[in-house]
Structures are given as C-alpha cells and as structure tokens.
Amino acid sequence: MSRTLPPDVSEQDFARALDAFAAVVGEKWVISDPAELATYADPYPVGEGFGQAPSAVVSPADVEQVQAVVRIANEHGIPLMPISTGKNNGYGGASPRLAGSVVVNTGARMNRILEVNEKYGYALVEPGVTYFDLYEYLEEHAPSLMLDCPDLGWGSVVGNTLDRGVGYTPYGDHLMWQTGLEVVLPQGEVMRTGMGAVPDSNTWQLFPYGFGPFPDGLFTQSNLGVVTKMGIALMQRPPASATYLITFENESDLEQIVDTMLPLRINMAPIQNVPVIRNIILDAAAVSQRSEWYDGEGPLPAEAIERMKSELDLGYWNFYGTVYGPPPMIEMYLSMIKEAFLQIPGARFFTHEDRNDPADRGAHVLHDRHKINNGRPSLDELAVLDFVPHGGHIGFSPVSAPEGRDAMRQAAMVKARADEYVKDYAAQFIIGLREMHHICLFLYDTHDADARQETLDLTRLLIKEAAAEGYGEYRTHNALMDDVMATFDWNDGALLKFHESIKDALDPNGVIAPGKSGVWPAKYRGRGL
Ligand code: EUG
C-alpha cells in the first residue's frame, strides 16, 4: 500500500512535518502506517480515486496542541482535515476531501463532557463526545434532560452539528440549538464565539448570539477553523411520549401526505417532533436483505415492492412521529394527527403500543423511532447496509418544499434515475418546520467497481438535474462538493466568491480542509484537485 502525500510536498518535508507533529502530540499519536491509515478511508467509497486514506493522522490532546499542530501545518504547507469522530458516513466518513491531507483527529483524546447544566438544559462538550457518551452521562447525572440524536448514535455531537446534521426530537435542527464555539483559527489563534468572548461570562451556553456579527455558521460545513468546544441546548425530558406510524398504500399518496402534514407541523403542534416519511425500501432494508424479495437483474419490480408491503404490514410510504407531554395532551394530539391523515384512502394508524409483537418485523423501525425520538441513541439503522452484499450508501440529499406536488416531483425524478442505474432508492423525507430534507440513500455493493462508479455518476447527474428544477442539496459527499457548490451560483457565483475571500483572508496558507464544500484556498484553486 502506498501513501499519498499532500500536493507540492516532498517526502523529506513531509517527514519533517511529522516529526514536528510528534514533538507536540507524542510519537504514538501520529499515525503514518498505511494499514492503520486505511481505517480512515471512506467506508463507502464511490467512483475511483476518492475516499483514499489520509497521509497521516495526528491526535492532539488539548486546545494548545491543536494550536501547535495548526502552526506547524502553516510552516510546512501541510493540508489538515479536522475530524471529530469521523462518522460522516454516506458523505465520505473520516476521509479528507483533498488526497494526502493529514487528518487531525480531534475526538481521539479531546472527548470530555465539560459541563452539563440540568437547570438551564445545556451541555458543553469536546469533539470526541459521541451521542452514546452524552446519553449515558445524562442518564447518570442529569436524568431530567433529553438528548437529540441522529439515526446512528455512534458519531460526535460536535461533528454532526458542524456538518448541519439533523435529529428527530423537537430539537432536531442541531445547529439551531448550538450555543457557542471555541475554535482554533487557521493560523493558530483560539477564539470563542457568542457570550464566550466575554471573559468569565456565565451566559456562554445561554445566549448564542453574543454581540456583533454572528460567525458560528462560518464554522459549519466549512474550513475556517478547528472546533475544540461546543455548547448544545438540551430539552427537559417530557413526562410521557407516544410514537405513531401511519402507513400509506400508494407511491402517489406522497402528495396528500405532505399537504396534510404541513399545517399540523409548522406551528410545532400537534406534530411536535421532526417526523419522517420513509419509503418501503428503506423500511424493508432495515429488517431484511434484498435477495429475500428479488434476486434478478434490474430494479426491484412492483411485485417485490407489493410483497414487502404485505409481509411487513407497511405502506409504500410510512410516516413516523412522536408526541410528548402529559397523557391527556398526548391523546389530544394523537387524535388530531390520526383524524387528519386517515382522510387519505387506505391510510392506517398505529402507535408503538399497538404493534409490540417481537415477530412483527415491520414494527422494528417504529420501535427504533420511539427510542431515537426520545433521545436514546441507537445503531439499528446500520442494518440498512446489509440489504445488499458489502453494502454501502451515498446520500443524495436535496431540500424540498413541504409541498405535496413538489415532493412528488422530486421523488419521481430520483426514482426514475435510480431505476435506470439499478440502485435502490431508499428514501426518507425528514421534516423541519418549512422544508424537508429529502434523503435519498443509494445502496450499492462497495466491492463492485462498476457499482461504485454508477452510484457516483447517478448522484452527479441528479445534482445537475435537480438544480435545473431549482433544487439544491443540504450536504454532500466529498466527491461531489464542487458539483453541489457549482449549483449555488446565483449572480455569477457571488456566494462562492464570498467564501473564497474569507478563506484567503483567514487561511492564507490554505491549511484547513482544502476543498471542503467546494471552497478552495488560493493555493489549490482551479487545479482540478
Ligand atoms: C440519514 C442519512 C443521511 C442524512 C440524514 C439522515 C438517515 C438515513 C446519508 O445521509 O444526511 C436513514
């Protein structure tokens, strides 16, 4: 196995930089052995030549070491790729955007829960704190608080928030509940945002905006610093909750589902959480293998889809949500939700208590949602990857208006292309307040080079086609960041020019995550890296 060095860096210069890193973090916290580096490669590679392992991994123990690492990178011209726990799966995992970058694994040693305030409901955490870690801590020390976690709880609270990930309780928009950052800037200075900039402030996690321009967003999906601390607001755990599943028979029901949903959601009641609309392929993938339904050539035929629905006792679309509160309020909200959706012909309504037979495979997702929607992290959804052999997925994640016709148009566009490329379209619409994240998971065999290339081609094509209809993505795989940024090009690319100006001003040597989100420093710009 050979190691890719950063662009323009010789073996000798690289070796000198590694020695300097080791002098700061300690020998054993610098990894450069190719076999070990391979664990930082994209677990779900797409295409060829992307998602390769970094040239080295450096794991600092504290903020001062991060500052020293960043300064060394500036001195030697070494591109760094900061990660928290590196679980950005479906978008590149722990792998750097720029081949040969040195991964700065901030989560390996900086993994302390610095403070949990039960009275005010917040936590201050380092990048290595996972959802499972914080959950366990809260259970023991602050049981009145409820976490908000993504589908898979193994990742970093900081990392997910910085990538603008989502969860499913009322606090599902993670960035919305972020309450202040500590960041090492590209030349090594450390800064705190919000009220954290006032020395000895006791409101850092209470008022995120502070005074003056609000820079926190610039450290999300970006390359302007290395975040070393972050505050996150936490809800009080409600007295009770009920999770419901509403099944809908037809693919075309999506239009009415979305139009029924919006007025119930936009005022945060009676639909209180971030609900999801999942298609039957995603729900079947969570509990079965594709070969059980179909093992011929081509896309899953209608007959196989029908069998999935009947054997799992699910619909083509399945709507999952949770209501919280004292039991009379739960009953009232459930009845409002039920009445509204049961207007749709063929719709069926269940709560998690209605379907608790362990033999009911189709209820597995309902119970997993109940856990997640109550802030209990889970890894059950990982089973989706076993739907196909050596399964991997890429996220194609356009934002949709909460408008039935629009959602249908997007879903039909994706489904047609996915069928053409013979990649299963496992869909979920994650519903915010006035938009939906339409997560299209394309499942493919990671050991099959053709499948890897087709999945990349399919996603790249959809980015273009979606943009032609006015749609953009909320997040994307490393291999497609330039493609997506190219679609955010209103007024001659004014947005990217703005990002590049800031990038060049703050990071003149271009050391932090070059190319992240399509933003390249001057040093590498236009080189087709
Ligand atoms: C999911 C996956 C995503 C994402 C949001 C949610 C959940 C899948 C791969 O990307 O951005 C079940």
Confidence tier at 454 by pLDDT (50, 70, 90): very high
How far apart are the CA of 107 and the centre of ligand 1, in A? 21
- Output the pLDDT for position 52: 87
**Amino acid at residue number 308:** M
- Distance of alpha carbon 323 from alpha carbon 270, whole angstroms: 8
The CA distances from residue 415 to 59, 408, 424, 425, in Å, are: 42, 10, 8, 6
Q: Express each pLDDT in 496-527 by its tens digit.
A: 999 999 999 999 999 999 999 999 999 999 99
pLDDT greater than 80 at residue 36: yes
pLDDT greater than 70 at residue 468: yes
- Annotation says 474 is catalytic: yes
Q: To the nearest whole number, what is the mean pLDDT of the chain? A: 97
- Distance of alpha carbon 119 from alpha carbon 142, whole angstroms: 9
* Percentage of the chain modeled with pLDDT above 90: 98
pLDDT greater than 90 at residue 381: yes
Q: Express each pLDDT in 175-230 by its tens digit.
A: 999 999 999 999 999 999 999 999 999 999 999 999 999 999 999 999 999 999 99
- Output the pLDDT for position 2: 63
pTM of the model: 0.98
- Output the pLDDT for position 507: 98
* Percentage of the chain modeled with pLDDT above 70: 100
- Annotation says 320 is catalytic: no
Mutate to test the pocket of ligand 1, among 173, 380, 439 (most ligand atoms within 8 A of CB): 439
Mutate to test the pocket of ligand 1, among 151, 384, 480 (most ligand atoms within 8 A of CB): 151
Pick the catalytic residue from 40, 91, 131, 333.
91
- Annotation says 120 is catalytic: no
Across residues 55-68, what is the average pLDDT? 98
pLDDT greater than 90 at residue 49: no
How far apart are the CA of 439 and the centre of ligand 1, in A? 6
Q: Express each pLDDT in 85-97 by its tens digit.
A: 999 999 999 999 9
Across residues 477-485, what is the average pLDDT? 98
Element (H, E) at 133: helix 131-141
- Output the pLDDT for position 12: 96
pLDDT greater than 80 at residue 426: yes
How far apart are the CA of 462 and the centre of ligand 1, in A? 17
Could you identify the atom of ligand 1 that is nearest to the CA of residue 89?
9
Across residues 340-352, what is the average pLDDT? 98
- Output the pLDDT for position 3: 77
In total, the chain counts a number of residues equal to 529
Contacts within 8 Å (CB) and 24+ apart, 204-212: 204/124, 204/179, 204/180, 204/231, 205/115, 205/117, 205/120, 205/122, 205/123, 205/124, 205/179, 205/180, 205/231, 205/233, 206/120, 206/122, 206/179, 207/179, 208/178, 208/179, 208/180, 210/180
DSSP alpha helices (H): ranges in 314-433? 327-341, 364-373, 404-420
Ligand 1 pocket, CB under 6 A:
90, 151, 166, 381, 395, 397, 428, 439, 441, 475
Could you identify the atom of ligand 1 that is nearest to the CA of residue 384?
12
Coil/strand/helix, residue 134:
helix
- Output the pLDDT for position 343: 98
pLDDT greater than 90 at residue 61: yes
How far apart are the CA of 424 and the centre of ligand 1, in A? 15
- Distance of alpha carbon 427 from alpha carbon 417, whole angstroms: 14
Residue whose entry in the numeric block shows the structure tokens 């916290």: 29
Mutate to test the pocket of ligand 1, among 397, 400, 440 (most ligand atoms within 8 A of CB): 397
Confidence tier at 305 by pLDDT (50, 70, 90): very high
